[in-house]
A and B are shown apart, each in its own frame.
Chain A
Amino acid sequence: MSCPPLTDLAAPDAAAVLADHLDTCARCGALLARLQHHEETLAPAPDTPRPAQPAEPPPRGSVWSFWAPQREDYLISAVLDSATVELLIVPLLTETRWATESDIELSIETLGYPALAPVWAADHVLAEQAVEPLNMLSEQTLATLTNGYEAIYAGRALAEPGGSAVLAPEDPRIAAHAAIADDLRPYFAPWSELQGSEELGPVLHARREDAGIELEEWSESIDVLPATWTRFESAELDPYAEIPTAAIAKAVRLLNLMPSERIVGLAHASVETHHRAQAAPQATALARRRRGIARRSQRDPKLAREAANTYAEALRRELGL
């Protein structure tokens, strides 16, 4: 949680209303004791609302605000690429003084205020993080940003850099860029936390390991047998058959992952890959079984896809999407 405004800290009821923050913030505790108080009491502070998902994903070339679970302010960004599940965005920052040859400057005419596009910091967000449409870039500006992004990743110089070159390791703009990257990290985390595998089990495994939660304790909290969960995490199990969607939704919440279509897609892939339900047995297979030759039959991709669709739909409901 970010620090409250100074004027809120100076309110007569600040100690009570901001108690949770004051417990953890030495700065605000020190300021509370030093500021002169005024008479205005604090209105109950509303939380930053979690956005309702837009009906359509933000189109390429649009400027949107983006939300992240750990942040109270929105990130303003231009959409460089758009898909149903995820978006490639480049942040548009109002702080322009750290511009280097790896940044692009947008004049006041573009957004109504001067902005800096650190194309080196462009990354993906989940579609669910998009909040409000704010602007539409011209074809020319979009091309400048897209070309800039491609140039950075191809190791080429930007055609129209926003700042001068970094010539020495002592240049303070290098450290400033590190700080910018750290400040942007919470916005990209909901997407990056769901990478690393095309199935849900391994993604949840990595997240559980990061959180340092032991398997036994974990299994108890989501009410799934440890052996079953281990196989799921190892991408060896069909969750359709053995893990209720309610348990998956609980796992997502406990691991502080953002409910998203990406999670649904990963669960879909887990079921589709491992689902073992078979099509109606053919005559030869029946004959073999009668003779006691229980050969494992082929998976039926169509049935697997149907199971995956059913499971995904149920999970979507559980996640409130």
Chain B
Amino acid sequence: MTPEQYTRERAEVLRGAEPSTKLFADCLRTVRLMIRTAGLPSIYSPLGVWSEEAVEETFADFTAERLLGRGQLLAMLQRAPVQPVFRRMLETALRQHLIDRLQRSQSANLYVRVNQLLGDGGRYDSNGSGPGRLWQLSGGTATPFTGADRALDALAWSLGEFKIIRYKPDAKKLSPLLDTDELTRFLNGLLAANAMDIATICRALKLRFVLDDPTETEPLEPEIHADGIGADPLQTILQREIATAALAELTERQLQVLIGAERRKSTRELALRLDCSTGTVSHERGQIAAVLARLGGDEPAVLKEILDALLIGEE
């Protein structure tokens, strides 16, 4: 699709016409090119590798759920007056779609781990039995939580930023959505406010981290993405793939914050340099941590590769 064809297509859709097959073909082209050029790591594939079948399945799912189901195609066309802007938005939307799907599919493990943590003994006490069993911090409040979802959501958000998800390609099935320290911090934060039953705790997780109900999660393939791990040359390739994916996923501003953090710049200095507020720098720090943790880019070797690539670029 040429830039001129895009302009015409956009005008038609904004006038109320259905998006043409040509526009969808252009979207599919973007998906294929993102994969071919290593812009999307294989961990984002529903099948663990980017086969033709995986590409088609991903595009069909992306189109049905996000582009049409949630009206994102119309939203992007409205905001993107020219083709490069549209394609950039499409890439971001696709990546977000794959991340959301991966995140949801890994949520079941989280509920199991909450149960394990509560039962580990010593840290938590409980009253009652069955599904109504109330959990509290040892020596903490026994007053049960009786608020509505909004109050639970507010409480969950008030616990601050959490480093979530490790989708590293070498992760095994049911890799954690929150590592144990972070999950414990979340659990302790909730129970410091009120005693809760397991359903309320799971509800808080769902609200805060936008998870599916565990009963609705898709079955996971065992040992997903585990192929090719172990040998050093493959590790190097993997490391490069992760670093490239992180560079593609982070914005220019986020990468400037990352470089600033590496150079020990204060939040205020960074805000001045980037002409933004200190709150924005804090927000970007949180976003960077989430992306790097998700991809495994927070491992020293990978982080070094990302920073080296950026600093060479800067020079």
Measured CB to CB, the residues of A under 8 A from B are 2-8, 10, 25-31, 33-38, 40, 43-49, 65, 72-76, 94, 97, 108, 111-115, 131-132, 134, 163-168, 170-179, 181-182
Given contacts A111-B71, A177-B279, A163 and B153 within 8 Å (CB-CB): yes
Tell whether, in the assembled complex, residue A26 and residue B37 are in contact, meaning their CB atoms are under 8 Å apart: no
Q: Tell me, in angstroms, the Cα distance from A74 to B80 when the chains sit together.
A: 6
Q: Tell me, in angstroms, the Cα distance from A164 to B276 when the chains sit together.
A: 26
Within 8 A of A (CB), among B94-108: none
Interchain Cβ contacts within 8 Å, total number: 204
Residue of B nearest to A95 (CB): B96
The answer to whether B126 has its CB under 8 Å from any CB of chain A is no
Q: Tell me, in angstroms, the Cα distance from A44 to B83 when the chains sit together.
A: 11
Besides the known contacts A8-B87, A37-B37, A72-B82, 15 further A-B residue pairs in the complex with CB atoms under 8 A apart = A4-B88, A5-B88, A27-B251, A28-B252, A30-B313, A34-B243, A35-B244, A40-B33, A47-B82, A73-B89, A76-B75, A164-B150, A164-B151, A164-B152, A166-B158
13 contacts between A and B (CB under 8 A): A29-B313, A46-B83, A65-B81, A76-B78, A113-B75, A131-B81, A132-B14, A163-B153, A172-B161, A172-B283, A176-B283, A178-B282, A179-B277
Given contacts A165-B150, A167-B158, A10 and B14 within 8 Å (CB-CB): no
Given contacts A6-B91, A35-B37, A108-B70, A164 and B154 within 8 Å (CB-CB): yes
Size band of the interface chain B makes with A: 35 or more
User: Interface readout for B238-259 with A: 1 if CB under 8 Å, 0 if not?
Assistant: 0010011001101110011001
Given contacts A2-B88, A112-B71, A164-B151, A38 and B37 within 8 Å (CB-CB): yes
Given contacts A5-B84, A26-B310, A170 and B159 within 8 Å (CB-CB): yes
Tell whether, in the assembled complex, residue B284 and residue A179 are in contact, meaning their CB atoms are under 8 Å apart: yes
- Give the chain B neighbours of A177 by CB distance below 8 A: 279
Tell whether, in the assembled complex, residue B158 and residue A168 are in contact, meaning their CB atoms are under 8 Å apart: yes
- Give the chain B neighbours of A76 by CB distance below 8 A: 75, 78-79
The answer to whether B155 has its CB under 8 Å from any CB of chain A is yes
Measured CB to CB, the residues of B under 8 A from A are 2-3, 7, 14, 30, 33-34, 36-39, 70-72, 74-75, 78-85, 87-91, 149-155, 157-161, 210, 240, 243-244, 247-248, 250-252, 255-256, 259, 276-280, 282-284, 286, 309-314
Given contacts A8-B84, A134-B78, A178-B277, A164 and B244 within 8 Å (CB-CB): no
Q: Tell me, in angstroms, the Cα distance from A108 to B74 when the chains sit together.
A: 11
Residue of A nearest to B279 (CB): A178
Tell whether, in the assembled complex, residue A30 and residue B312 are in contact, meaning their CB atoms are under 8 Å apart: yes
Q: Tell me, in angstroms, the Cα distance from A43 to B243 when the chains sit together.
A: 29
Given contacts A48-B81, A48-B82, A34 and B240 within 8 Å (CB-CB): yes
Per a CB cutoff under 8 Å, which of B79, B157, B248, B276 touches A173? B157
Tell whether, in the assembled complex, residue B33 and residue A25 are in contact, meaning their CB atoms are under 8 Å apart: no
Given contacts A2-B88, A112-B74, A31 and B248 within 8 Å (CB-CB): yes
Residue of B nearest to A64 (CB): B78
Tell whether, in the assembled complex, residue B84 and residue A4 are in contact, meaning their CB atoms are under 8 Å apart: yes
Per a CB cutoff under 8 Å, which of A27, A38, A176 touches B313? A27
